[in-house]
Amino acid sequence: LRTGRGVAHAKVILFGEHAVVHGEPAIAMPLDVLGVRATVRHRPGELSVVSDLYTGPLAQAPELMSSPRAVVHAALDRVGLPLRDLEIAVVGDVPHARGLGSSAAVAGALVRAIADYAGVTLTEAEHLALVDLGERLAHGTPSGLDARATSADAMVWFEAGVARRLATRTSAVLVVADSGLAGRTRTAVADVAAFLERRPVRGAALIAGLGALAQGAALDLAAGRAEQVGAKMSQAQGMLRELGVSSPELDALIDAATAAGALGAKLTGGGQGGCVIALVRDEAGAVVVDAAMRAAGAVTVWHHPIGPDGAA
């Protein structure tokens, strides 16, 4: 009997989180050291799931799994399989609720595994629509960025719902540090909406400013200007902080990274917890920044080279 397999990976947003929800462009990068693998195989009886969070009939899975459950149902429906006689296993090391796109990565791996099991080839648009469905349940009004970045194999420029490969001639290392605190994407997105409501002029300026930083950073990345990319990251952090999506813990990690010589640092993803990213020139610099961020409270730190030619 066949086994269906699907994989997806984590992502980091370099520029444009939150602003992307309001129509501005964003830049994201696959973080392929962290991944999710899903397998689907025949197992008579109720549709069941095996995962770190829960093992048992999918129908009885906890509330936490309502988004992957909806994705599984929709994907099975699309490929014409009944909601039974299958066991779906999910393993992965993308930490949950850290702004690394775990929900989109899980959904992406599930959709691929189900399509593979059924022997159906989904178009890119169909695949993304199924992942986006899960993202809507996971955090309300997703821009669609995570769905695309978790299946991309290089840096992506995302604008008006469309992702394309972003060329870069910049060589640097991105240090990703997990604060250990759950990010709160849904609340943070709502807080930004409330800010825009309360202070429309300032709010619009900040959103446009974040978009302009993404535009400028794309040019810097293409031209190999690592310092300018770093400086723009720090400017973006100032704007995100003013919008209310940072936190004292994230600020402490960011300050530690900059004091240790990072070219720039900011939160990544929804914020109010989760991860921060710092740009450093090379691996030697990454080691120093890594130690500084751990001393400031980071629980896990990953180093990710940014290579020329968009290779991330």
Among 4, 101, 108, 134, binds ligand PMV (CB under 6 A): 101
CB of 156 to ligand PMV, least distance (A): 13
Number of residues that bind ligand PMV (CB under 6 A): 17
Binding mask 7-26 for ligand PMV (x = CB under 6 A): ------x---xx-xx-----
**27 vs 72, which CB is nearer to ligand PMV?**
27
Under 8 Å between Cβ of 71 and 113: no
Residue 132 in contact with ligand PMV, rule: CB under 6 A:
no
For 30, the token pair is: 């696959």
240 part of the interface to ligand PMV, by CB under 6 A: no
By CB under 6 A, is residue 134 in contact with ligand PMV? no
Least distance to ligand PMV from the beta carbon of 145, Å?
5
Nearer to ligand PMV, 79 or 267 (CB): 267
CB of 84 to ligand PMV, least distance (A): 31
The answer to the question of residue 289 lying near ligand PMV (CB under 6 A) is no
Residue 96 or 294 having the CB closest to ligand PMV:
96
Q: Which is nearer to ligand PMV, 162 or 259 (CB)?
A: 162
- Which listed residue (99, 108, 211, 264) binds ligand PMV by CB under 6 A? 99
Residue by residue, DSSP assigns the chain as --EEEEEEEEEEEEE-TTGGGGT--EEEEEEEEEEEEEEEEEEEEE-EEE-SS-EEEGGG--GGGHHHHHHHHHHHHHHT--SEEEEEEEEE---TTSSS-HHHHHHHHHHHHHHHHHT-PPPHHHHHHHHHHHHHHHHSS--SHHHHHTT-SB-EEEETTEEEE------EEEEEEE-SSPP-HHHHHHHHHHHHHHSHHHHHHHHHHHHHHHHHHHHHHHHT-HHHHHHHHHHHHHHHHHHT---HHHHHHHHHHHHTT-SEEEEETT-SSSEEEEEESSHHHHHHHHHHHHHTT-SEEEEEEE-GGGB-
x/- track of binding to ligand PMV for residues 147-186 (CB under 6 A): ------------------------------------x-x-
Site for ligand PMV in 257-276 (CB under 6 A): 269-270
Binding site for ligand PMV (CB under 6 A): 13, 17-18, 20-21, 99, 101, 139, 142-143, 145-146, 183, 185, 189, 269-270
